[in-house]
Chains A and B, each alone.
Chain A
Amino acid sequence: MFNFFLLILIYTGIYALMALGQNLITGYTGMLSLCQAGFFAIGSYATAILTTRYGWSFWGTLPVAALLSALFGVLIGLPTLRLKGDYLAIATLGFGEIVRNVLNNWDSLTGGPMGIQRIPMVTIFGFTINPYKKVAFLIMVIIFVLVTYYLFERLGRSRMGRALQAIRDDEIAADAMGINITKYKVWAFAIGASVAGIAGSLQTVYSLSVTPGSYTFMVSVLVLCMVVLGGMGNFAAVILGAFIIQLISYFPQLVGLSGVIPPQFKQILFGAILVVMMIWRPQGIIGVRSYMVGRKNSKKVEVSNELA
C-alpha cells in the first residue's frame, strides 16, 4: 500500500515535469500543443537506445534527450507557430501520432512494437538507484521536479516570461511593442519540449523498458488535464494538478476496485474534467490569473473571436 503510494508520487513527479513544460507552452504563451507524449517518447527512446546500445550512462543521455526533444519541437514549431494558434494543435496532434508510428515501424533502431528491455539502472557516485526500492528513486524525481520548478518560476518572471504572457494576452499588441513573437514562441515550445524529453528519460530508468504503446495521445491529454485542473499559468498549481490526476488514475488500484471500475471510466472522467473546468472554472482550482475568464462586456470579445 505504502509502496503503491510511492509509485503514485513517482509518476506524479514524472508527469509534473511534462505538465510544467505544457504549462509554459499553453498556460504562459497560450499555444495549444498536443504532443508532450511525442517528446516524452523521444526522450525515453534516446535514453533507452544510448544506454543499452552504446553503454552511455543515464546522466550522459539526459542532455541528449532534452536537446533532441527541443530540436523536434523547433522543427514542428517553426512552420506552424507563425500561423493561427489552432493549426499548432492539429500539427502537434499529428506529430505525436507519427512519432509513435515511427517507433512502431523502425525495428532496427527501436525494436518495433516489442520496444527495448533491460535498460541499466541509474548509478550516482557508485550508488545504484533501484526503481524497485522506490524511496531513492522518488528522491531523485523530487529533485528533478524542484529544480525544474525553480528554473521555470525564474523564467516566468524574467524578461522572456513577461514577453510570453504579453503574447498570450494580445499577440498584436505584443508585436507592436517590439516583441519578436515567432522567436519567443519557438523558444517556449522548445523549452517545454525539452522538459518532456527529460521526463521521458526518467520514465525509462524507472520502468527499465520502453514500448511504443506507452506514448499514446492519452498521455498528452493527461498532461493537458493536469495543467487545466491545476490552473494555467501557475507552475505550483500544475504540480498539484499532476498529483490529483495521478491519484484519480490509480484510484481503482489503490482501493482495490480495479476489477469493478472499467478502465475507460477514468478517461471519460478526464474528458469531463476538461469540459467542466473550461465552463465553470477556466482558471483552474488555484485561480490566480484571470486571463482565461471570458472578457465579457468588452468589445475585445468580438475582435478576439475574429482573430481566432
Chain B
Amino acid sequence: MGSISEFFQHLMNGLTLGGIYALIALGYTMVYGILKFINFAHGDILMFGAYIGLFVFNFLRGDSPLGTWTFISFFIAMLISMIVTGALGVAIERIAYKPLRKASRLAPLLSAIGVSFILSNGAAWMWGTQSRKLEYPFDNAPFTVGGVVITPHQVMILIVSLIMMLALIIFVNNTRMGKAMRAVSLDQDTSRLMGINVNSVISLTFAIGSALAASGGMLIALDFKVYPSMGMMIGLKAFVAAVVGGIGNIGGAMLGGILLGLLETFGVAILGIPPAMKDTISFGILILVLLVKPEGLLGKAVREKV
C-alpha cells in the first residue's frame, strides 16, 4: 500500500466524520444566526434523535418483509426520527427559550443547560444508561478502490450528509421561507415590519436544526454506540466546527465540520497524537481559532454597535 492510497484512506475517513460534524454544526449555527445564543441542548437533541431512530428501525426490522432491502426501513426510521426530533426542538424552544427572548443574555444559556440536563438524564431514566448498538441495516463488508478501503456505511454517510446540506442550501437561498429566515437573522424588528412572522421562522429554524441533528445522530449510530450522554462530546465538537467556520454562517458550518473531521483523522494518523487525546484536538483548535480569527473562516468581523 503506497503512501498515496494511505492519504486517500485518511481523507475518506476524515470526510465521513466531517460530514456528520457538519450536519450537527448546522443546527448550532442556524440558531445562533437567528437568536444569537448557543443552544447547549443541541447535542442532547441529537442523542434523542439517535434513540428514536434506533427504536423505530428495530421496530420496522422486527419481521420485515423487506429482506435485504432493510436500508429502506433505515431511511424510514431516519425520516420519523427527524420529524419527532424536529417537533421536540420546536417544543423546547417554545417552553424554555421563548419566554427568555427579552431577558438578559445569560438567561437563555442557563435555561439551555437545564434543558440539556433534563434530556440526557431523562434518556438515562427512560432507556437506561447501557449503550446500544444499531444493527447494521445492510451488509457492511468493506470494498477496496485503488488501495482505499471503503465501507458501505461511509458511502451512505457521505451521500446522506451531502443531500441534507444541498437541500438546506437550496431551501435557504431559493424559497420564500428561506428568504424570511435570512431576513430575520439580519434584523428581527425590520423583518416583523415587512410582515414576516418571526416566531414561526424561529420555530422553523429549531425544527430544521433539530431534524438535521437527528439525521446526524442516526448516522453516528451506524458506526458508534448510542448512550444517554453521547451528545455532550459530539455537541462540543460540532460547536467547535461551527465556530471554526464562522458561527451564524451556514456555509461556514459545513466547511468547519469537514475541516474538523479531516484535522482529527490526520492529527491521529500523521502527527501521531494518541487516540485517547483525540478529543483534545478539537478543543485545541477552538482555542487557536478564538485567538487568531475569532470570527471564523467564513464569518465577517462585526463591530459591536451601541
Binding site for B on A (CB under 8 A): 26, 30, 32, 34, 79-80, 83, 85-87, 89-91, 93-95, 97-98, 101, 105, 172, 217, 221, 224, 228, 262, 264-265, 267-268, 270-275, 278-279, 282, 291-296, 301-308
Between B104, B188, B236, the greatest number of chain A beta carbons within 10 A of the residue's beta carbon is seen for B104
**Which of chain A's residues have a CB closer than 8 A to the CB of B109?**
32, 86, 89
**Which of chain A's residues have a CB closer than 8 A to the CB of B115?**
271, 275
Do the beta carbons of B279 and A97 come within 8 Å of each other? yes
A250 to B105, CA, bound (A): 32
**Which of chain A's residues have a CB closer than 8 A to the CB of B233?**
97
Q: Decide yes or no: A79 and B287 within 8 Å by CB, A274-B110, A278-B111 being known contacts.
A: yes
Nearest CB on A from B34, distance (A): 11
Do the beta carbons of A301 and B125 come within 8 Å of each other? no
Write 12 A-B pairs (CB below 8 A) sorted by A numbering.
A79-B287, A94-B286, A98-B283, A101-B279, A264-B121, A271-B113, A271-B117, A271-B121, A274-B117, A275-B96, A292-B107, A308-B36
Between B188, B232, B283, B291, the greatest number of chain A beta carbons within 10 A of the residue's beta carbon is seen for B283
- The answer to whether B100 has its CB under 8 Å from any CB of chain A is yes
**Which of chain A's residues have a CB closer than 8 A to the CB of B106?**
26, 30, 32, 85, 292
Do the beta carbons of A308 and B104 come within 8 Å of each other? no
**Which of chain A's residues have a CB closer than 8 A to the CB of B305?**
303, 306-307
A224 to B100, CA, bound (A): 18
B118, B188, B236: which contacts A90 (Cβ < 8 A)? B236
Taking CB as reference atom, which chain B residue is nearest A105? B276
Q: Decide yes or no: A279 and B99 within 8 Å by CB, A271-B116, A308-B36 being known contacts.
A: yes
Q: Digitize B115-146: 1 where CB-to-A-CB distance is under 8 Å, 0 elsewhere.
A: 11111011011000000000000000000000
**Which of chain B's residues have a CB closer than 8 A to the CB of A105?**
276-277
Do the beta carbons of B294 and A83 come within 8 Å of each other? yes
Do the beta carbons of A90 and B125 come within 8 Å of each other? no
Taking CB as reference atom, which chain A residue is nearest B125? A264
Q: With contacts A30-B106, A90-B286, A93-B236 known, what are 7 further pairs, Cβ within 8 A?
A: A87-B243, A87-B290, A94-B236, A97-B232, A224-B113, A294-B100, A306-B36
Do the beta carbons of A294 and B103 come within 8 Å of each other? yes
Chain B stretch 263-306: residues in CB contact (< 8 A) with chain A? 276-277, 279-280, 282-283, 286-287, 290-291, 294, 304-306
Do the beta carbons of B122 and A279 come within 8 Å of each other? no
A32 to B96, CA, bound (A): 18
- The answer to whether B21 has its CB under 8 Å from any CB of chain A is no
Chain B stretch 171-228: residues in CB contact (< 8 A) with chain A? 188-189
Do the beta carbons of A83 and B102 come within 8 Å of each other? no
**Which of chain B's residues have a CB closer than 8 A to the CB of A271?**
113-119, 121
Taking CB as reference atom, which chain A residue is nearest B279? A101
Do the beta carbons of A79 and B306 come within 8 Å of each other? no
If over half of A's interface residues share one DSSP class (helix, strand or loop), that class is named, otherwise mixed; here it is helix
**Which of chain A's residues have a CB closer than 8 A to the CB of B277?**
101, 105
Nearest CB on A from B64, distance (A): 33
- The answer to whether B239 has its CB under 8 Å from any CB of chain A is yes
If over half of B's interface residues share one DSSP class (helix, strand or loop), that class is named, otherwise mixed; here it is helix
B114, B276, B294: which contacts A278 (Cβ < 8 A)? B114
Do the beta carbons of A264 and B99 come within 8 Å of each other? no
Taking CB as reference atom, which chain B residue is nearest A171? B304
A46 to B38, CA, bound (A): 33
A9 to B282, CA, bound (A): 40
A221 to B114, CA, bound (A): 8
Do the beta carbons of A97 and B236 come within 8 Å of each other? yes
Do the beta carbons of B110 and A224 come within 8 Å of each other? yes
Between B110, B121, B189, the greatest number of chain A beta carbons within 10 A of the residue's beta carbon is seen for B110
A296 to B286, CA, bound (A): 35
Taking CB as reference atom, which chain B residue is nearest A225? B114
Q: Decide yes or no: A90 and B239 within 8 Å by CB, A272-B114, A294-B104, A304-B105 being known contacts.
A: yes
Q: Decide yes or no: A279 and B306 within 8 Å by CB, A26-B106, A79-B290, A268-B121 being known contacts.
A: no
Taking CB as reference atom, which chain B residue is nearest A216? B229
A296 to B294, CA, bound (A): 31
Nearest CB on B from A109, distance (A): 15
**Which of chain A's residues have a CB closer than 8 A to the CB of B306?**
172, 303
A87 to B299, CA, bound (A): 15
**Which of chain B's residues have a CB closer than 8 A to the CB of A95?**
283
- The answer to whether B40 has its CB under 8 Å from any CB of chain A is yes
Do the beta carbons of A221 and B99 come within 8 Å of each other? no
- The answer to whether B71 has its CB under 8 Å from any CB of chain A is no
**Which of chain B's residues have a CB closer than 8 A to the CB of A282?**
103-104, 107
A179 to B281, CA, bound (A): 35
- The answer to whether B37 has its CB under 8 Å from any CB of chain A is yes
**Which of chain A's residues have a CB closer than 8 A to the CB of B276?**
101, 105
Nearest CB on A from B267, distance (A): 15
A5 to B233, CA, bound (A): 36
**Which of chain B's residues have a CB closer than 8 A to the CB of A90?**
38, 236, 239-240, 243, 286
Do the beta carbons of A268 and B122 come within 8 Å of each other? yes
